[in-house]
């Protein structure tokens, strides 16, 4: 197997759970927060700093408050802000992880980092807002109103981060190989569909027109 699966996801869509289950069933590594730990180890950045900037849009006030940390970083360039340092460390770590073999990577513009990799399959998991509200409210013991507010805030943050660094639209069908509604087939069915997509990518079946241009 060669396929590297990247998953963008709306908050509360079950995208992370889908990714975990896909990785387990395919017997390949799963990366989420593990990316931050690896990026910290390789870059010399404090892991807490990476967590603070994780999938977050640029914040002028926060950058000003934190950029003094940049001057203590080994090899930090004069024109590189702390946010740039964090993004580049994450970007490089994602590419290094992909070089090690098939895996599932969640979020962090991983699809953009691996756009030129022929083994890459980019997915986006979404679901109706009401379904996501129910899932988040139950998971985090929140009222529906608070769950809704958290969902909208998190999605806005993820979209801003993705669109700033990738120059593509977060969640748009033309930004990914496939967008999947996890409520349509359920999480289990979504996992099975992704497995079928991986199988097809690994062992493509030519269509009749590809085998014989005349269709005969």
pLDDT value of position 56? 82
CA atoms within 13 A on the CB side of 40: 14
CA-to-CA distance for 173 and 47, rounded, in angstroms? Answer: 33
Q: Please tell me the distance from the alpha carbon of residue 172 to that of residue 122, in angstroms, as a whole number.
A: 12
- What is the separation, in whole angstroms, between the first and last Cα of the chain? 33
pTM for this structure? 0.85
User: Do 119 and 4 touch, CB atoms closer than 8 A?
Assistant: yes
- Chain segment 67-119, per-residue pLDDT in tens: 444 444 444 444 567 788 889 999 999 999 999 999 999 999 999 999 999 99
Identify the pLDDT of residue 72. 44
194 pLDDT above the threshold of 90: yes
Sign of the CA dihedral running 127, 131, 137, 143: positive
Among 118, 169, 141, 139, which Cα is nearest to 8's? Answer: 169
Taken in order of first residue, the domains within the chain and their CATH numbers are 4-205 (3.40.50.300)
Each residue's pLDDT tens digit, 157-184? 999 999 999 999 999 999 999 999 999 9
What does the pLDDT read at residue 214? 57
Q: How far apart are CA 7 and CA 27, in angstroms?
A: 17
* Confidence (pLDDT) at 84: 83
């Amino acid at each position: 197997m060669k396929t590297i699966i990247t998953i963008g996801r709306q908050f509360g869509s079950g995208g992370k759970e889908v990714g975990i289950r896909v990785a387990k069933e395919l017997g390949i590594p799963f990366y989420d927060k593990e990316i931050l730990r690896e990026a910290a180890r390789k870059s010399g950045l404090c892991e807490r700093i990476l967590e603070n900037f994780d999938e977050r849009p640029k914040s002028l006030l926060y950058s000003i408050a934190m950029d003094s940390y940049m001057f203590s970083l080994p090899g930090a360039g004069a024109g590189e802000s702390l946010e740039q340092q964090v993004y580049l460390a994450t970007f490089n770590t994602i590419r290094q992880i992909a070089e090690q073999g098939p895996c599932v990577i969640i979020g962090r513009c991983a699809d953009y980092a691996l756009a030129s990799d022929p083994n890459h399959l980019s997915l986006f998991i979404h679901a109706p807002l009401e379904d996501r509200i129910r899932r988040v409210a139950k998971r985090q013991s929140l009222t529906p109103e608070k769950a809704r507010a958290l969902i909208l805030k998190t999605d806005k943050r993820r979209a801003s981060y993705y669109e700033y660094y990738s120059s593509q639209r977060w969640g748009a069908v033309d930004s990914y190989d496939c967008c999947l509604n996890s409520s349509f087939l359920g999480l289990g069915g979504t996992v099975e569909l992704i497995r079928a997509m991986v199988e097809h990518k690994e062992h493509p079946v030519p269509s009749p027109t590809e085998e014989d241009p005349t269709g005969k």
